[in-house]
Amino acid sequence: MSGFINKIQTKYRIVAKQIGTTWYHLTDRAKFKLDPKFMPADNSFSIQDRSGQQGIYIAPDVERWVNGHGYWRPFVVEFHVDPSVANDPNVHGKWGGEMFVPASSFGKIKIKRVIPLDAYARETYFGYGWIESQIEREFDTEKPIVNLHERFLGYKYTGPDVRNMPSEETTRLKKQLREAKKNGLGK
């Protein structure tokens, strides 16, 4: 079995280097910061068990969290990741391409920004995001969506970092997610 695990780990390190230095995490914490005491749940099959280890899971794209695992959170944390982190002790991959970064390696990952999930979708796919499509209201203005196929070519989120938003605004975005889930998001 250890030969198989070594083969998977080697493949993971190659993939991690090819993907780039921007990785993502989904959160519902508006004032997100790296917490060296946090022990994330390891609720899927991992190459190595990390139960009880302090750190964070990150992925090379948001799709892995949203459509791959059905994790719906209102905010996207964008990290700049030093590619050498893949060689640190206790950094391991999962079958879905996620990477567990232990707290001891937090010095190699830096938060670039925290943005609304739908802002990420507009930047990446140039269309309405998952939540706003489900509730048929724009995430940022609350205006009704008239044409779900409207394109946002070249869209770049220029709003405030979620960590700097007033609590009323982050509460509104969380409420939109709850409404979207109630309406069938992720089912």
- Per-residue pLDDT for the chain (187 aa), expressed as one digit of tens each? 455 555 555 555 555 554 568 999 999 999 999 999 998 876 555 556 656 789 998 988 898 888 877 889 999 999 999 988 888 888 766 656 778 899 999 999 999 999 999 999 999 999 999 999 999 999 999 999 999 999 999 999 999 999 999 999 999 999 999 999 999 998 7
In degrees rounded to 5, what are phi and psi of residue 126? 60, 30
Are residues 102 and 72 located together in one domain of the fold?
A: yes
The verdict on residue 54 lying in a domain is: yes
Which regions of the chain does DSSP assign to beta strands (E)? 22-27, 55-58, 75-81, 92-93, 99-102, 109-116
Domain count, the chain: 2
Domain-terminating residue out of 58, 81, 114: 114
Are residues 161 and 86 located together in one domain of the fold?
A: no
The verdict on residue 187 lying in a domain is: no
Domain extent, residue 38, equals 2-114
